[in-house]
Amino acid sequence: MVIEIIDIHCHLTFKEYEADREQVIEDAKKVLKCVVTSGVEPEDARHALELAEMHEGFVFVTLGLHPIHVAERTDQEIGEYEEFISDNKRKIVGIGEVGLDYHWIRDPLKIRRMKEIFEEFLGLAKELDLPVVLHLRGTGSDAIEEGLKIILDEDVREAVFHCFTGKPQLAEQICEEGYYISLPTSIAKSKSMKKVAKRIPISQLLTETDAPYLSPTEEERNVPQHVSVVYEEIARQRKIDVQVAEDEIERNFEQLFAVEL
C-alpha cells in the first residue's frame, strides 16, 4: 500500500501528547506521508522545531502567534519572536496559525491589538515569502469574511483557510481569489463542510485534523491518522476514488508549501 495522506495542521507539541508523543508519531508514520505541526507561541515554536528535527522529512512546521496568545505578549516579546521566526525561515514551511478569534476574544482593545498583530504577521510572511495558515473563528462567517478582506488588502498571495467552517458560497469566493481551503476531521458531523468538499475545485482543497482537537469520535483525543476520514468524505462527496483525492491533495500540499515529498 502506497502511503499518500497528509495532515496539514495539527499540534503535536501540545500537552495532550505528553505521555506518548513518540508513539503517536510512530503510529502516524504507518499511515501518513507527512504532518505539519503548528507552533502557536514562542515556547511552543521551539518545541515544534525540535520535533521536526527529530523526525526530518515527516514532521514539517509552521510558526505563528495564535490570536488567543496575542494579549499576553508585549510588543518587545512579539518582535523578538518574529526575529526568531526569521532566523529559522529555512526550517519552516509557513507562517501560522495567525488570524482573528471572536469566539474567545471579545474585549474591543484586545480585538484591535489582535488585528494589528495579525497584519504584522502577514507582513512577516510576505517578507519571508512563505504561505499563511489562517485561524479565523467567530460568529457565523464574520471572522472568515473579515480575514479574507484583510489578506486581500495586504496583498497576501499564498494562504490556506485552516479548519474552514464557513458557507460553501464563501469557500467558492475564497477559491476564486486563489487561496486554499483546509477541511478538518469534524467534516464527519458537518453538512456545510461536506458541501464545501463537493463544490470547490479539488485543486484548492487540503486536509487536516487540528489534533488533538476535533476528533471524529466524541470525547476522544484526535490524532493525525484520523485525517483519513476527510479523504474518505471528499471522495464520497465528489464521487471519485480515494486515490484520486490523495494524489490531488498531495499536489496541492507541495504547491502551497513548496515542499517536494
Give residue 140's pLDDT: 64
Structural domain that includes position 229 = 5-257
Decide if 184 contacts 210 (C-beta within 8 A). yes
Instruction: Give the DSSP letter string of 107-147.
Output: -HHHHHHHHHHHHHHHHHHHHHT--EEEEEESSTTHHHHHH
Q: Distance from CA of residue 129 to its chain's centroid?
A: 17
Selection from 167, 103, 109 nearest residue 141 by Cα: 167
Unique residue bearing C-alpha cell 488567543: 68
Angle at 179 between CA 113 and CA 231, to 5 degrees: 110
CA dist., res. 219 & res. 69, Å (int):
25
Count of structural domains, the chain? 1
Cell of 256: 502551497
Give residue 138's pLDDT: 87
CA dist., res. 176 & res. 237, Å (int):
21
Selection from 54, 172, 26, 154 nearest residue 98 by Cα: 154
Per-residue pLDDT of the chain (261 residues; tens, 9 = 90+): 567 899 999 999 999 999 999 999 999 999 999 999 999 999 999 999 999 999 999 999 999 999 999 999 999 999 999 999 999 999 999 999 999 999 999 999 999 999 999 999 999 999 999 999 999 998 766 999 999 999 999 999 999 999 999 999 999 999 999 999 999 999 999 999 999 999 999 999 999 999 999 999 888 999 999 999 999 999 999 999 999 999 999 999 999 999 998
Q: Cis peptide before 212, with omega less than 30 degrees from 0?
A: yes
User: Which CATH number fits the domain that encloses residue 181?
Assistant: 3.20.20.140
Buried/exposed 63-95: b ≥16 CB within 10 Å, e otherwise = bbbbbbbbeebeeeebeebbeebeebeeebbbb
Give residue 86's pLDDT: 98
